[in-house]
Amino acid sequence: MRGKDVRLQDVVMRFGGFTAVERTTLTINAGEFFSILGPSGCGKTTILRMVSGFIRPSEGKVLIGDQDMGALGPARRPTALIFQNLALFPLMTNWENVAFGLEARGVDRKTRRDRAFDLLALVGLQGHEEKSPNELSGGQKQRVAIARALAVEPAVLLLDEPLSALDLKLRQYMRAELKDIQRKTGVTFIFITHDQGEALTMSDRIAVMKAGVVEQVGDVDTIYDNPRTPFVATFVGENNVIEGRVTATGDGFATVETPHGMLRGRDQDRLSVGERAMLFVRPERSARVNGVAPDNVFDARFERRDLEGSFVNLFFKAGADSFIVHEANRGGHGGLEGAVKVGFNAADAVVMRAGEIEAEADDA
Amino acid sequence: MHELLRSYGRTLTGVFITLTAFWMLIMILLPQAFMIEHSLWWIDRDDQLGMRIDRAYSDMGLLEFDLGQADTPEGKADIQERIDGLKADIAAMEAEETAPPKHYGFDNYTKMSALHFEIFLKSIGYSLAVTILALIVCYPIAFTIAKLSTPNKAALLMLGLIVPYAINELLRVYAWLMILDYQGVINSLLAWLGLVSFEDKSWVPFLEYSGSVFVALIYAYVLFMIFPIYNTVETLDRNQLEASEDLGAGVIRTHLRVVIPHAKPGIAVGCIMTFMLSVGSYSVPQIMTRGKSGDWFSQLIYRQFFESQNWNSGAAYSFSLVLVCLGFILIMMKVFKVGIRDIAK
Ligand SMILES: Nc1ncnc2c1ncn2[C@@H]1O[C@H](COP(=O)(O)OP(=O)(O)OP(=O)(O)O)[C@@H](O)[C@H]1O
Ligand SMILES: [Mg+2]
């Protein structure tokens, strides 16, 4: 394993009077696939540029493999950056692109050419060595960029939304490819994305950011099952939200008084009685109620259904709140018109202090 | 053509094309054709001709006198014959005097004196030097404005560069004259520092060095070098520079491998413009040297036309210059591997 860990210690980044990244302390382990997830403009690229050395944090330190990077420039750090627009050199051939880092290190032409050809073969681009990057498709360019970054044998590979320009099919293929390369090389990957699905499928751990603040860091299951803030709960995956006031707590559970009656969920923030709270429950943990009743049940009106293939989305309305239920597609979704009962188990719901939620979750 | 027709209709398109053709014909093709034609012939004026005619007339007077004195009819006929021959000669010589014979050929090009040829080569060499110096000076400036400054600062810098060009070229050159003159700004400064003295004329004679012409020429034509380079560098994606840096390349390698290849068309255009303007510049060397550090070829051409009244060799000289410029364009296109299309951009 040749990856190194990256640590941000009390890092703050200001541009003039504007704080792009609030005080952040973050450790990215050696050899892990780490994603930074957040909406546009939240400061993801800024963090990446601090790690790669293009900008110096206004406060705090960046350490890579226990070494303080201080004022070291990008050329002297053990990192390689894959740009949002790839930034391949259009006037060089593909192999020269890949060999450029070696050229800068004074490796002789024959050696670097061989190395570039090997790397292009690794990313599946045999036969394209002498072409210009402009003669390649989007996915192929992507792979040249990856090979070019790997050529300098970085300990940390930084990827700034490298898949955002690709179409869905290619994106899914490249996800697997990237993951595979990461496993083979053992390099630490810091992957930036605003696509929560991408972050969930690829990462070992995720940091979710909002407006310059890292809201939560954790492995994918933790982020999905135990979101710490309303923003994380709604930004990562879909969640039904029901607002109310806490009426009782105990045994790690909280009861919330809502327009739909008393609902119970896991008490994450150790709430006190009387506080405004939000209850989140995933659509796939919610259900229509026919026979055995779960812990929480309330009345709802059926609105419409979207067939997604293997499952269906059922949209309900309870008062002013919408409530979505994912159901496996086993046929027989008829007879839903009018009032029905929906519900969920308390263990599947999270109750937390009320806060700002992502209005339009997941734009991917 | 079709697009023109579609967007402007028949009449306007006709007007455009006529105007363009007119311009090409009157402003470019005709003068050049005139130059080429003039450069290809010369008039063989015989300096002795007038004298020879005079002598023939006095000979004739003598013969006419002899004719009156002759006593034999044979002698008379003999003298009359010589008079007739002389008359024919005089008529031929007078015809030649009013319409001297035109000869066609390349003599105007080949009979350039050794001195003039030296000046020709020197002017080309100097213009090349000016072009290279201008490139060295302008490339960093263009790059800095295009890539290292914020948009606002770039606009300000550009304005700063352009403002002096609102002033007439002659005035700008005279400004340099004032700076570099014997008792000019720099020498005054040196005198103030006690390094030179005006009394014993120990000033530095900047104007007697060809360097002063270089300085003024570079200054006169900087914009023609900066603008094309700026335009191409401007279009370079900033991420390319960062990618190069991130991969470990230093400033020089980044420029050699990333920026310059991208800016090639701009560099080629800048060099071509600066070279052509320098080699053809008349006012700058005229003003700056005041005849003290030798002629430039452009001054030579001027004198052929307007002082020696020798339009034929003037035409040959200036057409040689045109050929040199064309050659320079072709070499630049070869060296920088850019096509006409890139240059036209
Ligand atoms: N050099 C800079 N000067 C001033 N402000 C900047 C600079 N770089 C970034 N910012 C600001 O910092 C904020 C975060 O920018 P950043 O590029 O990190 O966002 P991002 O999360 O990468 O967004 P996206 O997903 O759109 O790429 C933005 O509001 C941006 O305007
Ligand atoms: Mg970004």
Which residue has tokens 């896991």?
Answer: A266
Crossing angle of helices A138-151 and A168-185, in 10° steps, is 20
Structure tokens at A224: 């999905």
Burial A100-127 (b: 16+ CB within 10 A, else e): bbbbbeebeeeebbebbbebbebbebee
- Residue among A316, A286, A298, A314 at smallest CA distance from A260: A298
Domain B108-344 CATH superfamily = MetI-like (1.10.3720.10)
pLDDT score of B300: 82
Ligand 1 within 6 A of CB of A364: no
d(CA A312, CA A134): 42
pLDDT score of A360: 54
Best mutation target among B152, B247, B257 (most A Cβ atoms within 10 Å) is: B247
Nearest CA to ligand 1 atom 26: A40
Q: Where are the domains of chain B?
A: 2-39, 49-100, 108-344
What average pLDDT does range B238-243 have in this prediction? 93
Q: Is the CB of residue A311 less than 8 Å away from at least one CB of chain B?
A: no
Scanning every residue of chain A, which has its alpha carbon at the shortest distance from the alpha carbon of B253?
A104
Q: Which pTM was predicted?
A: 0.79
The ligand 1 atom at the shortest distance from the C-alpha of residue A209 is 21
State the Rg of chain A over Cα. Answer: 24
d(CA A82, CA A177): 15
Q: Is the CB of residue A101 less than 8 Å away from at least one CB of chain B?
A: yes
Residue A133's pLDDT band (boundaries 50, 70, 90)? very high
Write out pLDDT tens, residues A38-57: 998 899 999 999 999 999 99
Yes or no, beta carbons of B244 and A89 under 8 Å apart: yes
* SS3 at position A285: helix
What average pLDDT does range B86-112 have in this prediction? 80
How many angstroms separate the first and last alpha carbons of chain A? 33
Burial A350-359 (b: 16+ CB within 10 A, else e): bbbebeebbe
Write out pLDDT tens, residues B138-191: 999 999 998 887 888 888 888 888 888 888 888 888 888 888 888 888 888 888
The percent of residues above 70 in pLDDT, for chain B, comes to: 97
Contacts of A101 in chain B (CB under 8 A): 247-249
Ligand 1 within 6 A of CB of A40: yes
Task: Give start and end residues of each alpha helix (H) in B99-184.
Answer: 107-110, 114-143, 151-162, 169-180
Q: Provide the strand spans (E) within chain B.
A: 41-43, 102-104
DSSP string, A56-74: --SEEEEEETTEE-TT--G
pLDDT at residue A291 tops 80: no
- Asked if B86 contacts B59 with a C-beta cutoff of 8 angstroms, the reply is yes
Task: Give start and end residues of each alpha helix (H) in A87-163.
Answer: 94-104, 109-122, 138-151
Strand partners, A314: A305, A325
Residue A117's pLDDT band (boundaries 50, 70, 90)? very high
DSSP string, B192-206: HTTSS-TTTT----G
Phi, psi of B160 (to 5 degrees): -60, -35
pLDDT at residue B48 tops 70: yes
Written as one letter, the residue type at A339 is A
Yes or no, beta carbons of A85 and B237 under 8 Å apart: yes
Predicted complex: ipTM over 0.90: no
Average pLDDT value for chain B: 85
d(CA B31, CA B312): 14
- Asked if B262 contacts B327 with a C-beta cutoff of 8 angstroms, the reply is no
